Amino acid sequence: MAAVGFQLGINRIYQFSYKNPAAASHGHFLIVSFIAIVLASLITGYLLNSFAPMAAGSGIPQVKLNFWKEFGYAPRRISFVKFIAGVICIGGGQSLGREGPTVQIGSNLSSTIAGWLGVTKQNRRAASAAGAAAGLAAAFNAPLASVAFVLEEIIGDLNSRSLGPVLLAAVIGAFIVHAFVGAQPAFVLPHIDEPTWRPYALMPFAAGLAALAGVVFQRATLSLRAFAKKTRAIPRVLQPLAGGLITWIIGAAVFLTTARLGVFALGYDDLTDALNHGFAWKLAGILLIGKLVATIACYGFGGCGGIFSPNLFIGGM
């Protein structure tokens, strides 16, 4: 339910702040989007620094750390702050994803509920992993992928005894999404006929370039994050604003050039359009570079959001 609310909240703010102004006029879009991303970044910085610094970023490293170091326990305020800050930050235009935050929200909520039911702090790992699986399954509408991710990335054991709770929670998460949002997958693809030799010949090069973009993203983001933690030139509370302003400059330039909004927020509309109808290589290249730099800035400066969606966008372009 938290993942569904998270998704709907992001979509509502994004629709009001970006899609509707973009349909009106360029001038209206520039004014409204600038106000939206500045306010969203300032509110995000205040919430994270004042109430829950561990809610910054995607949340998956924090979940993994809590799973092993704290037996799955984390302060209950994290899910609340993550929900509010994530909806505002991503819906407000920062180039980040919603899947990672739902993992942290789901994990924290499940651990908190386990505590209410009398489970001690030393025995909440199963609850934490199950909540993470439910959150990711609901975010992607993909329960099998969420089970594999939690077992491999968080638990680190595909033969874990937590497989049963994780699998059950992922299926329930998918059912909740089907009930409230519908049974559609994250991306709707057209019918693809039997491929010719060309896709097979080109795929290794495309896969290599996509992986290279992912490596560039990872190294640049970690370097910027390390710099942001050490520097005193930008106060911690204002660092998300730095990422937001960089994103707005790049996203506004891309929009004025191509009429595309993919640099802002999730970018799923443009990615879906590209998967279904194809983009000219110049347009795809512009969106690729814009999204890559914007996401590095947003994540590196401590925004509240994940990297699943941006990486799917970058790889797709």
Residue 23 is part of a domain; what is its CATH number?
Answer: 1.10.3080.10
CB < 8 Å & 24+ apart, contacts of 63-71: 63/103, 63/104, 63/107, 63/108, 63/128, 63/132, 63/154, 64/153, 64/154, 66/107, 66/111, 66/128, 67/107, 67/125, 67/128, 67/129, 67/154, 67/155, 70/121, 71/121, 71/122, 71/123, 71/124, 71/125
Identify whether 188 is part of a domain.
no
Residues 241 and 202 in one domain: yes
pLDDT higher than threshold 90 for residue 158: no
Identify whether 165 is part of a domain.
yes
Q: How does the average pLDDT of the chain come out, rounded? A: 93
Structure tokens at 51: 């109430």
Per-residue model confidence (pLDDT) at position 55 = 92
Per-residue model confidence (pLDDT) at position 142 = 86
Per-residue model confidence (pLDDT) at position 293 = 97
Query: How many CA within 13 A on the CB side of residue 92?
Result: 27
Residues 6 and 152 in one domain: yes
Task: Read off the pTM.
Answer: 0.92
Residues 28 and 72 in one domain: yes
Residues 156 and 201 in one domain: no
Last-in-domain residue among 149, 180, 211: 180
Identify whether 93 is part of a domain.
yes
Last-in-domain residue among 120, 155, 180: 180
Last-in-domain residue among 180, 209, 228: 180
Which ranges of 117-196 does DSSP label H, i.e. alpha helix? Answer: 125-140, 143-149, 163-180
Per-residue model confidence (pLDDT) at position 304 = 95
Q: In this predicted model, what pLDDT tens digit does every residue of 51-85 receive, in sequence order?
A: 999 999 999 999 999 999 999 999 999 999 999 99
Tokens 């505590």 belong to residue: 115
| Domain around 298 | 197-316
Identify whether 192 is part of a domain.
no
Q: Helix or strand or coil: residue 182?
A: coil
**Domain count across the chain:** 2
Residues 176 and 201 in one domain: no
Per-residue model confidence (pLDDT) at position 27 = 95
Q: In this predicted model, what pLDDT tens digit does every residue of 250-304 receive, in sequence order?
A: 999 999 999 999 999 999 999 999 998 889 999 999 999 999 999 999 999 999 9
Q: Which residues pair with 181 in a beta bridge?
A: none
Residues 172 and 89 in one domain: yes
Residues 166 and 218 in one domain: no
Identify whether 185 is part of a domain.
no
DSSP code of 259? S
Contacts of 24 (CB under 8 A, 6+ apart): none
Identify whether 186 is part of a domain.
no
pLDDT higher than threshold 90 for residue 161: no
pLDDT higher than threshold 80 for residue 243: yes
Identify whether 262 is part of a domain.
yes
Q: In this predicted model, what pLDDT tens digit does every residue of 185-222 receive, in sequence order?
A: 777 788 878 788 988 999 999 999 999 999 999 999 99
Residues 30 and 140 in one domain: yes
Residues 8 and 157 in one domain: yes
Residues 109 and 235 in one domain: no
Residues 158 and 115 in one domain: yes
pLDDT higher than threshold 90 for residue 184: no
Residues 15 and 160 in one domain: yes
Per-residue model confidence (pLDDT) at position 181 = 83
Per-residue model confidence (pLDDT) at position 26 = 95
Instruction: Work out the percent of the chain whose per-residue pLDDT is above 90.
Output: 81
**Confidence class for position 233, pLDDT limits 50, 70, 90:** confident
Identify whether 190 is part of a domain.
no
Q: What is the mean pLDDT of residues 7-23?
A: 96
